[in-house]
Amino acid sequence: MRRISPTLVGDVNRTAVLALIAQQSPISRSDIARRLALSPATVTAATRNLLERGLITVVERAPSRGGRPALLLGLVASAAHALGVKIAADHLVGVRVDLDANALDSFEGPFDAAGPQALADLAGILKPHVARSTDGQPSLLGSGLGVPGIAADGLGGVTSPVLGWDSLAIAERLEHELDVPVLIDNDVNTLAIAERLYGRGRSTDHFLTVTIGRGVGLGIVVGGDVYRGANGGAGEFGHVAVVDDGPLCECGKRGCLEALVADPALVREGQALGVLARGEGVDHLRALANEGDERARAIYRAAGGTLGRAVANLVNVLSPERVFVSGEGTQAWAHLADSFDSALKESLFAPFRDTRVEIDPWDDARWAKGAAALVLRATFVPTLVQREPDESVRARLAQGETLIRAGSVG
Ligand SMILES: [Zn+2]
């Protein structure tokens, strides 16, 4: 059972005011009242409370037409923190961020996701980072976890073939051990959420985040929020069927996109063609391509074309404004780019020809930051669907006693 703190009278208004200030800073009290349809007195009471608690501050005085200059309010980014952790099969990367998603510190280390003690190990790794927050540090709102799998309410836990997890009730267990809200989502969704809140997606309501590497992932942002489908599993782009009777995929089907362009597929192809020796991996294949090995480059060319056509199909269906390609596989983008671009152009529906595709440099910490954005989103972006985990994060921010006083903010 999740713990939900009782919502106190006034908290709902305060939370709404705080969320609006976070999104629209700098903003005046009269703008807040107008946009939230609250009375000036209610807004004044709410902002006084938030100012006293050091969550917001006066950032500037706007010139006004006659009368007194309006005070413009902004968020104090250092007033609270969130943890974000990206979990992979053999390691994890964590980051602590402030309310503006600036990374304050990070950690990483080995983690055996399939091990018998995985949850106890994970709690043990996170404990010192949670404890640090209660020891003279600003309040920790919660911890977000990004996992390569399906993590949705109603599915009874986290299911991830890559991690060897089947309906694992990880959030409940970690909340019990760590005593902070724990929010979990698919790692590509967390990347898309971070992009939406703090990155290039801020000005884009419809975009796709495609990831390549160990697998092929997809985050779909439609109308400003992540689209999850009926059971939370939307985005299994890696398992769209691409060729008849193709190579066997980890999912059990044949000819999936992932079975043609993900790292294991490239390595299998390299070994079949004698480009790679037994035991040599994708790093070796990339190194060969970098050195000019024509057979290695041909493997990447084929993969780039397959990926380009598949992405064009996505764009034809969803009509996003932009597509971001991310993940460790982008380290080899130089070898994928030409065939990707020409296959994409060839397969795009004419009106969508100008859709921008942007390639991200590989950065593990970016995914961890995405996981932390899960917590920040729960705090500042009330969604249409009331989710218990989001409520527990908001309640934590609304409770005065969990936050430090203004004077002790650095
Ligand atoms: Zn598959």
**What's the gap in Å between 48 CA and the centre of ligand 1?**
54
Give the burial class of 46: count Cβ atoms within 10 A of its Cβ; 0-12 exposed, 13-18 middle, 19 or more buried.
buried
- The H or E element spanning position 300 is helix 294-318
For residue 247, the CA-to-ligand 1 centroid distance in Å is 10
**How many C-beta neighbours within 10 Å does residue 196 have?**
23
Phi, psi (rounded to 5 degrees) for 28: -90, 165
CB-based contacts of 318, cutoff 8 Å, min separation 6: 206, 208, 220, 222
pLDDT in the model for residue 162: 82
The pLDDT-based confidence of 381 (bands split at 50, 70, 90) is low
81-193+365-386+394-403 CATH choice from 3.30.420.40, 3.40.47.10, 3.10.310.10, 3.40.50.800:
3.30.420.40
Query: Residue 252 Cα, ligand 1 centroid: separation in angstroms?
Result: 6
Report whether pLDDT(201) > 90. Answer: no
Q: What is the pLDDT of residue 67?
A: 66
Cα-to-centroid distance, 253 and ligand 1 (Å): 5
Tokens of residue 135, six digits: 């020891």
**Does residue 3 carry a pLDDT above 50?**
no
For the sheet containing 27-28, what is the strand order?
27-28, 70-75, 56-62
Gap from CA of 212 to ligand 1 centroid (Å):
14
Plot region of 371 (φ>0 → left; ψ -120 to 50 → alpha; else → beta): alpha
Distance in angstroms (rounded) separating the CA atoms of residues 260 and 282? 14
pLDDT at 382 > cutoff 70: no
- Identical fold between 81-193+365-386+394-403 and 205-320+328-361: yes
Domain 11-75 listed as CATH 1.10.10.10: yes
- Average per-residue pLDDT in the chain? 86
Most confident of 12-16, 120-124, 234-238: 120-124
Q: How far is CA 156 from the centre of its chain?
A: 21
CB neighbourhood size of 82 (10 A): 31
For the chain, give every domain's residue range. Answer: 11-75, 81-193+365-386+394-403, 205-320+328-361
Cα 53 to averaged position of ligand 1 atoms, centre (Å): 51
> 399 CA distance to ligand 1 centroid (A)?
46
CATH architecture for residues 205-320+328-361? 2-Layer Sandwich (3.30)
How far, in Å, is the centroid of ligand 1 from the Cα of 13?
A: 46
Q: Tens digits of per-residue pLDDT, 292-321?
A: 999 999 999 999 999 999 999 999 999 999
